[in-house]
Amino acid sequence: MLAALLAGLGLGFLIGAQVGPIWLLCARTVLRGRLASGLAIGLGAAVVDLLYACLGVAGAAQLLRIVALRVALGVAGAGVLLALGARTLASAFRVRAGAEVEGDVGTPASALRTSLLATASNPMTIASWAGVFAAASTASLATSAATTSALLVGIGVGSFAWFVVLSLLMAGLRPRLGEGGLRAADALAGAGLLGFGGLLGWRVVREA
């Protein structure tokens, strides 16, 4: 059981550490002086990772074989990421610092909602976690209800732990950045979110 928990912690941490749309959103939010909102974004990502891992274990990945469902979810997800990217990129050209859209990340509660929506925008994560658990079962790490539960808990905690680390790193970096640096961070995050949204949309069209 301890081995399953430690494996889950490692998987959650490493997968969370991969640069992606939520990674960018969290870093940019903390750089704008909102540590609590950044942590809320990380919590939202960890909750969805845990939920999708549970769905992967339950076999929900089979639902993604339904083309219409996969396309609908993919289009919705691409739209969410593109909207976030456009708003973030627009703020890079504003004169005043901290001019991001308040409804997105202005408070921890709104940041949590945004993170839940944005993280859930990639339903193929369910299929990825299903593959992870297949490998874990082969390695005898998830062979019972107890070890599977331990692995799931570890994934959720590990994912959130990465975003805590990221948020604290960005909070430490923020005082060293001037207004130009903050605008550059907005521009990079916005472009990245647009890129991820465009990639998801392209994959949906290609696979439809």
Model pLDDT for residues 105-116, shown as the tens digit of each residue? 668 888 898 888
Q: Say if pTM beats, i.e. exceeds, 0.95.
A: no
In whole angstroms, give the CA distance from residue 119 to residue 114.
8
pLDDT value at residue 73: 63
Residue boundaries of the structural domains of the chain: 18-144+170-207
What tokens appear for 70 in the block? 């996969």
Please tell me whether residue 28 adopts helix, strand or coil conformation.
helix
In whole angstroms, give the CA distance from residue 104 to residue 174.
20
**Contacts (Cβ under 8 Å, ≥6 apart) of 172:** none
* Residue 166 contacts residue 26 (beta carbons within 8 Å): yes
Lowest-pLDDT range of 78-82, 94-98, 129-133, 191-195: 94-98
Who wins on pLDDT, 112 or 193? 112
Question: At residue 172, does pLDDT exceed 80?
Answer: yes
| Per-residue buried b or exposed e for 83-121, using 16+ beta carbons within 10 Å of the residue's own CB | bbbebbbebbeeeebeebeeebbbebebbbbbbbbbbbb
Who wins on pLDDT, 10 or 201? 10
Model pLDDT for residues 74-84, shown as the tens digit of each residue? 676 667 667 76
Model pLDDT for residues 17-49, shown as the tens digit of each residue? 877 788 888 988 898 878 999 999 999 989 988
Would you place residue 98 in the very low, low, confident or very high pLDDT band (cuts 50, 70, 90)? very low
Residue 69 CB coordination number (10 Å):
12
In whole angstroms, give the CA distance from residue 92 to residue 185.
8
In whole angstroms, give the CA distance from residue 25 to residue 8.
24
In whole angstroms, give the CA distance from residue 199 to residue 184.
22
